[in-house]
Amino acid sequence: MDRREFLASSAAALAGLALGGASNPLFAKKADRNYNMILLGDTHFDVAPESVYHSEYTEEDLARLERHRKEFVRNGEMWKERCPRMLKRAGCLVDEQTKMVLQAGDLIQGDCGNPLIHKKMLSDAVARIKEELSPVPLVSVIGNHDMRGTGARKAYLEFMPELLSRELGKVIDGSTFSFEVGDDVYIVMDFNKPDDALIDRLLDDSRDARNTFILSHGPVLPINGGNRWFFHGRNKPGQNEARLHFRREFAQRNTIVICGHTHVTEMIDWYGDGGRITQMTVSSVWSKPERGVYEVEAEGSENYRADYVLKDNSAKMDPSAFELFEQYRPGVKRYILSDAAGSYKMKVSGRRVRIEFYAGDSSRKSAEFVLR
């Protein structure tokens, strides 16, 4: 396929995707008291060679360019065989009680350098997931990679809300929105550019919800290792007030947060502000074969530490985050961390919520996390 044919095929793909939406009987009927969701973490969809999606990508910062090219190589390698096997395994988790697939952002790698190619990448990623998990509706939250590159955020907002509107059978006109499954509310939150007023309104509109779920690419509770990259965690004016406001709002709703970004499997159960926040970080970045095996890196509240560094984590720690981290550490009652990647099945039964984890393409359950 030459370049003109490649770009032209994007429009056809956008128009021709066979999507579930309100016509899907699993979604259209009133949700039972018991149901389940398939969860996928970051997928960083990409293919080799890098010229397919990144031929127009440029970056003046040579060190940054080199890091991104290493990511392209990583993605192409894992999407050659491992990630397709993982998706096929995830498809086997779908049953008659499955309502939809929730994907925690960074659906794609981005870095396309051209909005049309960016849309093509999004379209191809959705089609690849739907190939294994159709006809279950797909809901994806915006991640930093989904909006990374020239004109990428605009391209995402031209593509994804239209797709989500069809998937959910309701009008979605932005990157922060909510939907209901039976008596439960799911608030999908743009972590990159949070609309605080809208998030407050969505919370107010769902005060009677049985369970409140937040789907966000980035975490709401600070992650192990002393990093300020969490919801309103930045050291900027107004961030501290917003962080404390939403921490209280989420805690008093006993909110369950599903997030991604950090490429780990992690559960944090935090008590404070008159309630509880349980955060489950999910990862589908099967970047190395060994990440297809579940091994616990850290467990117990005593191992929720600002100075903890995962064995594969080369990210720089922010010393200013340590004091902030200490505000959360005493409230952590349960903690577990693994660098394994795979697919997840969240089972909701009344107010009981648990997540089964299947590392890599494992045919057997690798771990189970009881959130409620």
What is the Cα–Cα distance from 35 to 92, expressed in whole angstroms?
16
Say if 353 falls within a structural domain: yes
| Of residues 201, 273, 204, 196, the one with CA closest to residue 238 | 196
Cα separation values, 265 from 136, 203, 335, Å: 24, 27, 11
pLDDT of residue 311: 53
- Residue by residue, DSSP assigns 299-362 as ESGGG--TT---TT--PPP-TTHHHHHHTTGGGEEEEEEE---EEEEEEEETTEEEEEEEETT-
Say if 288 falls within a structural domain: yes
Say if 230 falls within a structural domain: yes
Q: Where are the alpha helices (DSSP H) in 134-218?
A: 152-168, 196-204
Whole-model pTM: value is: 0.90
Say if 29 falls within a structural domain: no
Say if 83 falls within a structural domain: yes
Say if 303 falls within a structural domain: yes
Say if 101 falls within a structural domain: yes
State the Rg of the chain over Cα.
Answer: 19
Q: What is the pLDDT along the chain (372 residues), one digit of tens a residue?
A: 444 454 444 444 444 444 444 444 444 445 468 999 999 999 999 999 999 999 999 999 999 999 999 999 999 999 999 999 999 999 999 999 999 999 999 999 999 999 999 999 999 999 999 999 989 999 999 999 999 999 999 999 999 999 999 999 999 999 999 999 999 999 999 999 999 999 999 999 999 999 999 999 999 998 866 567 889 988 888 899 999 999 999 999 999 999 999 999 999 999 999 999 999 999 999 999 999 999 999 999 999 887 665 555 545 566 777 778 888 999 999 999 999 999 999 999 999 999 999 999 999 999 999 999
Domain, as residue range, for 152? 35-370
The number of domains in the chain is 1
Q: What is the CATH number of the domain that holds 70?
A: 3.60.21.10
Say if 22 falls within a structural domain: no
Estimate the crossing angle of helix 115-133 against helix 3-16, to 10 degrees.
50
Structure tokens at 87: 């998706």
Q: Tell me if 48 sits within 8 A of 76, measured CB to CB.
A: yes
> pLDDT digit string (tens) for 18-32?
444 444 444 444 546
